[in-house]
Amino acid sequence: MTAEPIRVLVTGAAGQIAYSLLYSIAKGDVFGKDQPIILILLDIPPMLPVLDGVVMELQDCALPLLKEVIPTDKVEVAFKDIDAAILVGSMPRKEGMERKDLLKANVAIFKTQGAALDKYAKKTVKVLVVGNPANTNCLIASKSAPSIPKENFSCLTRLDHNRACSQVAMRCGVSSDQVKNVIIWGNHSSTQYPDVHHAKVNLQGAETEAYQAIKDDAWLRGDFISTVQQRGAAVIKARKLSSAMSAAKAICDHMRDIWFGTKEGEFVSMGVYASGNSYNIPEDLIYSFPVQIKNSTWKVVDGLPINDFSRAKMDATAAELVEERDTALDFLSQ
């Protein structure tokens, strides 16, 4: 008895993140090895010829789980009855562009996509926003889709989480699966706070607090944080293109955890609705928290002790998000 195919939408599907992402989804790395998939690929009209090339390549991969590929530039086709939406497409920041201009362009995009989710998608759809500014774009999409539960929306901070994990692992000379429970707090921007106060490193079979394992507080409170915060810019500088392979991997990790849950005793970072959290983060934001996931439902890991150093960093990134939100909501009401 084979499962019914699920409908998975990827936007910005002719772009380079999607190019790294689609193969992993289609071959079963995200939704499971026995879950057939219908892939819906949305992009803007000028990108349709490129999208046709992507469709040809997906066909040429001859993947048994991939039942159908639907390229489109129409939201009513793209969002129809979908089970999962990975919203990668957004207006990128161009040189000399103010953050405000970027927000204005993206509010228009995510208002449209939120309205399309509201009108055409299943009410159980899980929505992951990747396109930047991801937290605020996610908030706008959610507000534009009032009939879909707020809990179904999240934005990607898993790439930052993976970056932080990897930095700690390299510093300790272990593989990254020996590091758990790093946290990314706040905005997917350079104000994010990568926090290892609750992280554990497995050293020769013994679980050690990250601060004990690394024994270099100056690095952990200085270069470690700025390396993770600035990593995207560093990749662009080196590659002349933004992170695509690592972003695609993080998207897969994030969606797989939503589908299958997190491991017992472990948490991951996700931008989620900030209502009713124990960390005094303002309500009505999409803010990155440590979460645990069971039965496709995330829960913020509450009650972790927060020292003054962390508090200041968590508040600073929250302040940036409040300002972004207020600017975006102004545009939304216009």
Residues forming the annotated binding site?
Answer: 43, 93, 99, 106, 130-132, 163
C-beta neighbour count of 271 within 10 angstroms: 32
Question: Which run of H or of E encompasses 70?
Answer: strand 66-72
> Mind giving me the DSSP string for 202-222?
EETTEEEEHHHHH--HHHHHT
d(CA 103, CA 75): 21
Check 161, 188, 198, 254 and give the catalytic one.
Answer: 188
Q: How many CA atoms lie within 13 A of 8 on its CB side?
A: 33
Contacts of 225 (CB under 8 A, 6+ apart): 193, 194, 313
**Binding-site residue set for substrate:** 93, 99, 132, 163
Which of 193, 255, 260, 200 has its CA nearest to residue 225? 193
Element housing 117 (H / E)? helix 99-120
Give the span between the Cα atoms of 41 and 25, in whole angstroms. Answer: 12
Asked about 161 being catalytic, the answer comes back as no
| Residues 42, 89: Cα–Cα separation, whole Å | 9
Query: CA torsion sign, 37 to 60 to 71 to 254?
Result: positive
Q: Which residues pair with 66 in a beta bridge?
A: 37
Q: Residue 257 to residues 77, 236, 246: CA-CA distances in angstroms?
A: 27, 28, 17
Q: What is the CA radius of gyration of the chain?
A: 19
| Positions at the binding site for NAD(+) | 43, 106, 130-132
Catalytic residues: 188
